[in-house]
Amino acid sequence: MTARVPGAAGSPQTLDMMVNMGPQHPATHGVFRMELAIDGERVVGLIPHIGYLHRGSEKLCEHEIYSQIITLFDRLDYVSNFNNELGLVLAVEKLMEIQVPERASYVRMILCELNRIASHLLFVGTFALDAGAMTPSLYTFRDREMIQALFEATSGARMMHNFFRVGGIKEDVADDFVVRVDRLLGELERGIDEVDGMLSFGEVLLARTKGVGVISGPDAIDWGMSGPCLRASNVPYDVRVDEPYCLYDRVEFGVPVGTQGDSWDRYYTRVVEMRESVKIVRQCLAQLQPGPIMAQLRRIARPPKGEVYAHAENPRGDFGVYIVSDGGERPYRLKVRPPSYCNLMPLRDLVVGSYIADAVVILGSLDIVLGEVDR
Amino acid sequence: MINSIKALRVTLRSMARKRVTAEYPKEHLPVDNRYMGFPALLWDFQRDEPFCTGCMVCVRYCPTQCMSAEMHDNPRFAEGDSHRRKIIQTFEINLNRCILCGICVDVCNFDAIEMSHEHELAGRGRNDQRVDLGELLKMGKKYQADTGWKQSKPNAPSPKEKEAATQKSEAGKPAPEPPSPEGASRAEGRSG
């Protein structure tokens, strides 16, 4: 992108220095490794290395029945587990043409939106850490903890829920679920406002993130970015709006977009998105009616022969699942379209030309989860 | 400047708040009732034997193959004390491999296995987390006592009870046919 910055005057020959960042580096949010070629403070080249967390999930899926695959999907993007599960069950349900009971759909939406808030809270905290602010992470982790306590009371686990089933959900939510979620939303709103007021328009954060890692809308589309990273570049694409799944067509919410597509926009899009998620959950709670939670199905899901692609809006973007079924109880082939992998693609364009300290901020603003990138 | 003052205000407000941190080894946060800890086998206090018949459903459905089970003929069935023809003989779970997914509980036909609240199982040996039948039942009994766990459906009558019922019905009016103890519930699975 940017032309190479020549060395200091009087030193006609300067060599680029190769700096190895990661895989064990706190700012890479997992086991991601970048080889940075730096000239002084400027990054002039970047070679990303992925695959340190490769577990062969897609191949493993070919050997597991669908109810077991859900446990593998929990472990793809390990900070938005419900959303991953939803992607899989949506695909299988689409292939089997199952009508999911309304209550199950609403519970799924509530849990997914809460998970989105939890994921974005984690992002806000770690992004602030990347930019050098320690405190916000403590606040966001406090709020995230409340959401996870609710998840524990609902699904029995804080992260690896294994709660969604093909055709519904595992068990009905607890009796005090609505009251509890309602109270939680109030606390979350307060927490989000607190962090937002403390961090978003702070001079230091603005100086670190405004105009850093700019990507234009068309470029972002070309690279296959999705989710908040794409919307920050002023492209209002959201699977929940454009191809509604579950019952997202029955709730009203806004799709926040950024203006410039820089790191700050990517950050602030997520902050606003959390508030929209709170709105969605409120509407879902109002519409939640008693009823069945599982479609009438045989115990082992056995989709017909054929192939299907279904996608859902994860906190990180467009999470797609492609299943080829040969009519058996195991998929013949399963492919995941991981949003953070696609969001990671333009990293070199974003980082090269900026300062080395900004590389950390840019990588943080993309909000990758290596469990999903490497699968 | 204004932001610094704002941030300072947050700090001051937080100082007056209640402490949220629990110092782990000294304080234990309570787990929720639905919390899924390691799986445990439950004890049938009515029959004084495990619920588990060793039908292997959980073993087959386990995504990590962390379990193994063997059944044998239930001697107490022959004596007429129990309705279970087969009963679990050995059951081993390698809790190191267990991913706490709860699939075994979902597929169990007999209320035999449940995710207990056990989650602190650090050990020194390599095989300390391979727990056998006795250990699993101990965990299960603890779970039953802690949570007041209730059976989802009542036990089928044992041969002795059946005999008593027939004698009674012969004396009075004929009683309805009791459900067959084994196998009949297979198709339904675990409700809920």
CB-based contact B102 A153, cutoff 8 Å: no
Q: How far is B86 from chain A (nearest CA, A)?
A: 24
Interface residue B8 vs chain A (CB under 8 A): no
CB-based contact A68 B10, cutoff 8 Å: no
Q: Which residues of A touch B99 (CB under 8 A)?
A: 71, 160
In this predicted structure, what is the pLDDT of residue B174? Answer: 54
| Residue B154: CB atoms within 10 Å | 7
CB-based contact B189 A194, cutoff 8 Å: no
Sheet (strand B67-73) strand order: B67-73, B86-94, B130-131
Give the residue ranges of DSSP H helices in A76-176: 81-96, 102-131, 135-155
Q: What average pLDDT does range B117-138 have in this prediction?
A: 85
CA distances A61 to A50, A161, A340, Å, are: 21, 18, 20
Rounded distance between C-alpha atoms, residue B74 and residue B81, angstroms: 10
Cα torsion through B12, B17, B20, B26, rounded to 10: 100
Rounded distance between C-alpha atoms, residue A44 and residue A51, angstroms: 23
CATH number of B31-147: 3.30.70.3270
Give the residue ranges of DSSP H helices in B68-127: 75-79, 103-107
Q: Which residues of B touch A198 (CB under 8 A)?
A: 3, 6-7, 10
pLDDT digits (tens, 9 = 90+) for A242-271: 888 888 888 888 889 888 888 899 999 999
What ipTM is given for this predicted complex? 0.75
Average pLDDT over chain B, rounded to an integer: 81
Number of A:B CB contacts under 8 A? 58
pLDDT digits (tens, 9 = 90+) for A13-50: 677 888 888 787 777 777 888 888 888 888 888 888 88
Q: Which residues of A touch B106 (CB under 8 A)?
A: 67, 170
- Share above pLDDT 90 across residues of chain B, in percent, rounded to a whole number: 0
Closest by CA position to A220, among listed A151, A162, A269, A277? A269
Element housing A34 (H / E): strand A33-39
Q: What average pLDDT does range A173-196 have in this prediction?
A: 89
In this predicted structure, what is the pLDDT of residue B185? Answer: 44
Which band of pLDDT confidence, cut at 50, 70 and 90, is reported for residue B183? very low
Q: How many CA atoms lie within 13 A of A264 on its CB side?
A: 17
A117: Cβ–Cβ under 8 A, 6 or more apart, which residues? A147, A188, A192, A274, A277, A278
CB-based contact A174 B107, cutoff 8 Å: no
Q: What values do phi and psi take at B116, rounded to 5?
A: -80, 180
Higher pLDDT, B44 or A9: B44
Rounded distance between C-alpha atoms, residue A242 and residue A236, angstroms: 9
- Position B53 pLDDT exceeds 70: yes
Q: What is the DSSP letter of A331?
A: E
Q: Which of A160, A198, A201 shows the shortest C-beta gap to B10?
A: A198
pLDDT digits (tens, 9 = 90+) for A95-148: 888 888 989 999 999 999 999 999 999 999 999 888 888 888 888 988 898 899
In this predicted structure, what is the pLDDT of residue B186? Answer: 44
Q: How far is B35 from chain A (nearest CA, A)?
A: 4
Mutate to test the interface with B, among A142, A152, A176 (most CBs of B within 10 A): A152
Which band of pLDDT confidence, cut at 50, 70 and 90, is reported for residue B18? confident
- Position B184 pLDDT exceeds 50: no
Task: Domain ranges for chain A, please list them.
Answer: 57-374
Which band of pLDDT confidence, cut at 50, 70 and 90, is reported for residue B146? confident
In this predicted structure, what is the pLDDT of residue A115? Answer: 92
- Position B49 pLDDT exceeds 60: yes
Rounded distance between C-alpha atoms, residue A375 and residue A372, angstroms: 5
Interface residue B33 vs chain A (CB under 8 A): yes
Rounded distance between C-alpha atoms, residue B103 and residue B36, angstroms: 11
Q: Map residue A160 onto helix, strand or coil.
A: coil
pLDDT digits (tens, 9 = 90+) for A330-375: 899 999 998 989 998 888 888 888 888 888 888 888 888 888 888 8
In this predicted structure, what is the pLDDT of residue B178? Answer: 53
pTM of the predicted protein model: 0.83
Query: Domain A57-374 - what CATH class?
Result: mainly alpha
Rounded distance between C-alpha atoms, residue A96 and residue A352, angstroms: 46
Residues of A with CB under 8 A from a CB of B: 64-65, 67-68, 71-72, 135, 142, 149, 152-157, 160, 162, 170-172, 174, 194, 197-198, 201-203, 299
pLDDT digits (tens, 9 = 90+) for B74-109: 888 888 888 888 888 888 888 888 888 888 888 888
B164: Cβ–Cβ under 8 A, 6 or more apart, which residues? none
CB-based contact B189 A72, cutoff 8 Å: no
pLDDT digits (tens, 9 = 90+) for A268-325: 999 999 999 999 999 999 988 888 888 888 878 888 888 999 999 999 889 999 999 9
Mutate to test the interface with B, among A55, A68, A137, A147 (most CBs of B within 10 A): A68
- Position B192 pLDDT exceeds 50: no
Element housing A17 (H / E): strand A17-21
Which band of pLDDT confidence, cut at 50, 70 and 90, is reported for residue B175? low
Tokens of B112: 């035999």
The residue with tokens 């603003």 is A365
- Position A1 pLDDT exceeds 50: no
- Position B158 pLDDT exceeds 70: yes
Q: How far is B34 from chain A (nearest CA, A)?
A: 5
Q: Which residue of A has its CA nearest to B190?
A: A299
Q: Which residue of A has its CA nearest to B9?
A: A198
